[in-house]
Chain A
Amino acid sequence: MILLLGPRLDRPSAIGDEGRARAASLGVAAVVAVAVTLAAGLTSGLLDAVQLAALGGTFVAAGTALLDRDTLGELAVGQFCFMPGGLLALGGVVAATLVGGPGGFLLAFGSALVGLGLAGAWANVTHDTTVRAMKQGWAGVFLPFVAGVILSVVVGFAVILWEFGVAPNLPSLSTLLFLFAFTVGCVWVAATRLPLEQLLAVPSDEVDRRRDRWRAATRTVVAACLAGWFLLGVLETVGATAGLYRTPGLALALGVLSTVWVRLPVFLVGVGALLAALVAVAARRATAGDTDWLAGPTFGMVALFALPFPILALLLSSRTDAAGLSGAAVLAAVILLAGMLFMLCYSVGPLAVAVNVLPDRAGSLSLASAGLLVTGIGAAVLRVPAPVVFACVAGSMVVWDAGEFGLGLTMELGHRPDTRRLELLHCVATVGLAVGAVLLATGLAALFGRVGPQAPILSATVLAVAGVFALLGPIRG
């Protein structure tokens, strides 16, 4: 099933002191987290937004794990999970905030963290993995700007070449020389980049000799063309060649040589050679496995727009009047900004690990546990029934306890021994404790509700909590 759905996320280590927590522990943690999150979503009336945020977080974790891989396919799938997943989570949080205010924001944000943390724990996402994904993500967000600049330069050069080289207004020999210089230069680049040894049935030594001769010849031709272009261009500009160009035979020949039908094939040869060289370079890079620097950001850029753009366009087309090119540009800009916002939020994670706020190996579990705590606070702000708030907090404890236990097992015993019995026994203990804690808190809430006004009860509870802190400190040393 996993193979049908795509690349495997987890690469368990055989050494034993690395890798994700054991499966049974993570399974119990995941079931508890999903149940509690859904309960919070249902009771708050923000189920759709919560689901969206949690799903987005899960996709981001899957993408993070896959962006640590080397093959192009895994990189592409990773980017198509990472960026759209981030936008999905962001969309869920924004929707929940719009509907539920700060409580909705906390609820959806916590749910996104739960999805991100749990999926990250399953996929064995570590600090190094997140750093690499962060770099790829930022590169994907910034690539549209870089690509825009490069595209503008290329288009500008092409327009100049077309206006002055391919279709000049006046018959001119210098522009023809410039066109020749461009074409021969492109052919020179192609000759140096194309795998001629593999394509020609000629010994490689012979190919090298011919290539060297060809390079020398083309270099000379390009230099001569550029020099001629410059000299003739100056002469043409000052009008020194006007008389010469009016000579009957030369005028006819120059007229013919200045038509588009003569110059276009020369131009196309140059463009074709340049494209062939680019394809050869790209293929060589792709097959050498040295593609991260370009392929990752390219896939990131494509993933940023390929899925969100049509979906948002479809959703917004029925609700707004904006359409056409300007509407598309606005939508693209919004997506780009949302991508940058997502990357800003995402970058907090690796930064938190770097400054030791989050543990590295247990970072994903901490995130999931903290997410449930935030969800609980959001649920309290939204005034959902108190047992749901308690369940969220208890779920947070269960996720941390079971996950950390499973992680400890992996570190102490490795992946090989069968530890299912041990894990399930521990999960029974921790879930039992969680149920007991929820019942106790619910009982206390009911008791306080009956006893009297709110303020004294709160004060008494604060005192009780402080008392417990005061007692626990010395006991724990």
Chain B
Amino acid sequence: MNPTARWTAGLAAAAVLATVGAAAGYASLLLAAVVPLLYLAYGVLSTADADVTLRANRVVEPATVPPGQTVSVTLTVENVGANPLPDVRVVDTVPEALGVIDDSPRAGTALEPGDTLQVEYGVVAKRGDHRFGRPHARVRSFGAGAAADRTVAAAGDDRLRCRLDASAPPIEQEGDRFAGGMPTDSPGQGLEFHSTRPYQRDDPASRIDWRHYAKRDELTTVNYRERHASSVVLVVDARPASRVVAGPARPTAVELAAYAATHALEDLLGTGHEVGVAVVGADGPDAAGLHWLAPGPGHDRRARARDLLAAATETTADEPEVDPETQASRVATLAPPRAQLVLFSPLLDGWPVETVEAWGVRDYSRVVLSPDVLTHNTATGQFETVRRHTRLVNCQAAGARAVDWSRATPLYVVLEAAFAADARGALTGGSS
């Protein structure tokens, strides 16, 4: 219990009134000094019990999310004691890395026994495992003469997990939308009809065109459009210029890029592709400072690729400077011939366009997926938006498939646009 020091001024008022009243002989003033003294006495005699019985429960919905998603947090505090509490103020302890964007994690009210106080607010998820602290409560006496502080143990959720591979719900529902076994113009095994040819020994019986045999008495073999597994290299732009946010508490463009790359990785691996990962702009173990994982088979590839993408989001300004041009050239050197290079970049400067053009010289097929982190409600933001759109167009003109990931668009739609089967012109090599 600690009495609040708000009535020091009352003491001064009483002194002034008593002095003036006594000096000038005004009885009413002298008696008026009783009024502030009464307030003072009330403040002194007030008590607030820190051991009040409060019960708290927190719900974090959803508890596992990808970066950038808004998470709703509801903290319910109940007065489980027998006495009414005239003034209860509660502040939830939000993890330091998270920012509140909706409502407030603070609330205050009077609580009758059994009454509850609900604190509802929203935070934006950022990559990492975030733990909520114990809520703080301040209880005051009636009239706020005294205050006592305490923390309340909260049941329910106390963690928010933000993972790059957290499922965006629609992806699983969409099934195999991507160019899994990549369709080519070569005839062979597959699903889609391509042509027929005379039967050759060792052709499987399942590919013999029996209808043609019945009509013409000749054995012919059906060719299907052949689907080849391709090599895809996911390149994340983690340069300092890309470590920007769309607003306070929002994830950086690098986090969004890594998130999109992680989902692309899952889907491409799931449909039989060989996927490699490169992180440009961070200081890695490679000779050029590149974080590099070559495309290829192997059970541990998925986990290693995820770790690499997670490392991209952890780059800080303290790291040694690296030369992104050298790293981009290194990617082109290390990538297998006819591999598809997918660059995840917010396109905030000219480097991505130059890189895409340089990769085009080596005849790599290229895809650029660009998360939009610019503000659109300021003159400078709109100017930068125009410049970014120009860069997207320039990437397209350089032969890449450029996809803009605006904030309102779900990731699966963007990935579909970037890797859909009808994009194979760009994906299977050469300019489209």
Contacts and interface: CB of A to CB of B under 8 A. Distances in A.
Interface of A: 16, 366, 369, 373, 376-377, 380-381, 386, 389-390, 392-394, 396-397, 400-401, 404-405, 408-409, 412-414, 416-417, 419, 421-422, 425-426, 429-430, 433-434, 436-438, 440-441, 444-445, 448, 454, 457-458, 461-462, 465, 468-469, 472, 475-476
A392 B31 CA distance: 13
B87 A465 contact: no
B128 interface: no
5 contacts: A390-B31, A401-B144, A422-B87, A426-B143, A429-B143
Interface in B16-54: 16-18, 20-22, 24-42, 44
A47 to B, nearest CB: 20
Given A401-B39, A462-B22, 14 more contacts: A377-B29, A390-B32, A397-B10, A401-B6, A412-B108, A417-B107, A417-B108, A422-B109, A426-B86, A445-B27, A454-B27, A458-B27, A469-B14, A475-B44
B13 interface: yes
Interface string B73-99: 000000000000011010100000000
B3 interface: yes
Contacts of A380: 21, 26, 28-29, 32
Contact of A389 (B9, B29, B37, B110): B29
B11 interface: yes
Given A366-B9, A369-B9, A412-B108, A397 B29 contact: no
A476 B14 CA distance: 16
A430 B25 CA distance: 29
A373 B13 contact: yes
Nearest to B103: A416
A440 B34 contact: yes
Interface centre among A386, A392, A401, A412 (most CB of B within 10 A): A401
Q: Looking at chain B, what size class is its interface with the partner chain? A: 35 or more
B389 to A, nearest CB: 29
Contact of A416 (B25, B32, B104): B104
B142 interface: yes
A458 B32 contact: no
B106 interface: yes
A192 to B, nearest CB: 29
Given A413-B104, A416-B104, A465-B18, A393 B35 contact: yes
A242 B224 CA distance: 117
A378 to B, nearest CB: 11
Given A397-B10, A412-B138, A462-B18, A440 B109 contact: no
Contacts of B33: 465
Nearest to B110: A425
A312 B77 CA distance: 62
B28 A422 contact: no
Contacts of B27: 386, 445, 448, 454, 457-458, 461
Interface string B180-220: 00000000000000000000000000000000000000000
A429 to B, nearest CB: 4
Contacts of B30: 458, 461-462, 465
Nearest to A420: B109
User: Shortest 6 CB-CB distances between A and B: which pairs?
Assistant: A416-B104, A386-B28, A429-B143, A437-B35, A413-B106, A393-B32
B85 to A, nearest CB: 11
A435 B222 CA distance: 101
Contacts of A409: 89, 108
A434 B86 CA distance: 19
Nearest to A473: B11
Given A405-B144, A412-B106, A381 B34 contact: no
B162 to A, nearest CB: 24
Interface string B389-409: 000000000000000000000
Interface centre among A380, A404, A438, A440 (most CB of B within 10 A): A380
Nearest to A379: B28
Contacts of B103: 416
A421 B86 CA distance: 10
Nearest to B21: A380
Interface of B: 3, 6, 9-11, 13-18, 20-22, 24-42, 44, 86-87, 89, 91, 103-104, 106-110, 138, 142-144
B36 A377 contact: no
Given A373-B16, A413-B89, A386 B39 contact: no
A436 B16 CA distance: 21
Contacts of A461: 27, 30-31
B142 A436 contact: no
Contacts of A433: 38-39, 42, 143
Nearest to B27: A458
A15 B9 CA distance: 28
A401 B16 CA distance: 18
A390 B36 CA distance: 10
A259 to B, nearest CB: 57
B110 A441 contact: no
A144 to B, nearest CB: 39
Given A377-B20, A386-B31, A437 B44 contact: no
A100 to B, nearest CB: 15
A448 B91 CA distance: 51
B9 to A, nearest CB: 6
Contacts of A437: 34-35, 38-39
B152 to A, nearest CB: 16
Contacts of B22: 458, 462
A422 to B, nearest CB: 5
A422 B107 CA distance: 10
A146 to B, nearest CB: 38
B92 to A, nearest CB: 12
Contact of A434 (B18, B35, B107, B142): B35
B11 A472 contact: yes
Contacts of A444: 31, 34
B11 A413 contact: no
B110 A421 contact: yes
Nearest to B16: A373
Contact of A472 (B9, B18, B40, B89): B40
A429 B142 contact: yes
A439 B424 CA distance: 90
A419 B15 CA distance: 34
Contact of B34 (A401, A412, A417, A441): A441
Nearest to A434: B35
A380 to B, nearest CB: 5
B37 A465 contact: yes
Contact of B38 (A405, A429, A436): A436
A430 B89 contact: no
B44 A472 contact: yes
A391 to B, nearest CB: 9
Contacts of A421: 109-110
Contacts of B14: 465, 469
Contacts of A422: 87, 108-110
B109 A389 contact: no
B35 A441 contact: yes
Contacts of B10: 397, 400
Contact of B3 (A369, A377, A476): A476
B31 A397 contact: no
A439 to B, nearest CB: 11
